[in-house]
Each structure stands twice: as structure tokens, then as C-alpha cells.
Amino acid sequence: MNSLQEKFISANSRLNNELNYIIQAFINFYGEKHRDYIVNVLRDLKVIWYDDIDFKEEKEIRNVIVTPLPEDQINEYLKKHDKKCFSQSAYIDEIDVLVLPLSYDITHIIHEMNHKISSHTLSLEPLKIISGMCTSVEKNGGVVQENSDLNEAINQKMTLEILDELRKLGLEIQYTPSWQENMFPLINLFYESFKDLLKDLYISGDILSFIKIIGTENYFEFSQTMFMKGFRVKRRLIKGKIPIVTEDDVKEVESIVALMQNFICESKMSEDKRKI
């Protein structure tokens, strides 16, 4: 038995042993009312494991991935997707496959499972997917994503809370920091203000209702501001520089969140007056 197979047996066995705890942690986070949905989504997982310890760019991708999925399916996946998709943690929506690390990095595993929870495929041809606050639409032979970095940061916020739920269930968790956490100062107020709405959005995929609640103009201003600031954070990270989020950056974003909060209050007051 080679090293890759040994790692696969260990990681796959551990996931199978811990899956019920993981499912319960998601239920505890999202709420009992979503039990059936969460169980259905997470019970039967398609996983490609990749060797995140010994992986080198020049290695043939088939030498660093292992999976219980049939070989013909793997061949189809590799034809359709860049091999890099299978050398880093990911959830590939259109083929409903988790790509997970053989080191069993639980932070990455929960993060990608949360992407799976929030993924709602509206169409495959042309591709149209809603994943949390991120929309992916196929245009002119490519896929255009909106709010991808914002959604990554929110997904990581949720991941940390789900990890806390796992700890409460008695699992020993070794947490690994992720790049998305550099954006936390920008989204802290937004996340805490609308956490319950965001949970509903992740489960339902109903982005239009979420936008309506916080105000269309507020949503698009927030999205555009976060795109520019998130882009700057990622660009500095890619260049090996320390990402900078200034106090002015945070104030600018939080001023938009305040507009959202006021919009919700005014909408509620208007609704209450109509009921009188």
C-alpha cells in the first residue's frame, strides 16, 4: 500500500466517523428547522482528496489525488476543469464535488462543506449558481462571479462558529487561520447585524429577498465597496505583503451597514403604520 492510499484510508475513515458530529454542528449553527435540508446535503458526499503535504506544482495531478469515485467520473472532471481545482480545498458546485485535504485540516473541510450547504444551482446550461452572497453566471464562454471575496469572508466567519459547535460536541479541533480573516474587520458589523438573515440566505439561496430587506441601493453600494477593498487585500497577499485594512476603510463600510439598519427600521415602521 503506497503513502497516498494510507493517507486516504485514514482521512476517509475519520470523515466517516465524524460525519454525524459535523452534521449536528451544522444543525446547531443553522437551527433545528433546517435539519432535513442539512442532513440531505451532507449525508452523501462526493469527495476528491488531495495531498496537501507532499503536493508540488510539477507533479502529475493523478499522483496527488485519491477518491472512492469511479475512474470514468474522475476522467470527466479532469477534462472539464483545470487540474489546479483538485490541488486545493474547494467545493466545485457544477459537479457537486468536495476537494478536501488529506491532512484532514478541519478548518478547510468545514469551510468547503459550508459552501456546499449554501450552493444552489439554478441552471447548468448556461451555468447560473447562487452560493451565499456570491452569484456565478456563464457569459461569453466564461463564468462571471459577483461578491466572491465578500462571500468567502462570510463563509469563513460561519466556519469558525461551526467549529465552535464541534468543540461543544466533544471533538478536539485544531483550527487553521485562512486568508479570508484579513477581511473580518470590514464585515464584522455587517455579519453581526444580519447573521440570521445570512443564515437564511445560505440555506434558501433567495438573494433577492435578502437584497429587498436591506435595500437595493444599500446592497449594491456595499457590494461595490467590498469588491474594491477585498481586491486590495488579496492583491497585497498575492504579492507577499501584509494586507492593510485601515480605520477609514472600516468606517466607510460600517456607514453603509448603518444605512441598511435604518432601512430595515423604516420599513418596519411603515409596515406597522399600515397595520393600524
State the number of CA atoms in the 13 A half-sphere of 199 facing the CB.
20
Q: What pLDDT sits at residue 276?
A: 62
Q: What pLDDT sits at residue 237?
A: 87
Domain count, the chain: 1
Cα separation, 214 vs 223, whole angstroms: 12
Residue 42, C-alpha cell as written in the block: 451532507
Q: What pLDDT sits at residue 207?
A: 96
Q: What pLDDT sits at residue 68?
A: 92
Task: State which residues of the chain have pLDDT below 70.
Answer: 1, 55-58, 275-276
Q: What pLDDT sits at residue 55?
A: 64
- For residue 91, what are the domain limits? 3-275
Q: What pLDDT sits at residue 56?
A: 65
**In this structure, what are the phi and psi dihedrals at residue 245, rounded to the nearest 5 degrees?**
-120, 110
- Distance of CA 175 to CAs 20, 84, 105, 114, 160, Å? 19, 24, 8, 16, 8
Q: What pLDDT sits at residue 26?
A: 98
Q: What pLDDT sits at residue 47?
A: 97
Residue 202, C-alpha cell as written in the block: 445560505
Q: What pLDDT sits at residue 58?
A: 55
Q: What pLDDT sits at residue 268?
A: 87
Report the predicted TM-score, pTM, of the whole model to 2 decimal places: 0.93
Cα separation, 226 vs 9, whole angstroms: 41
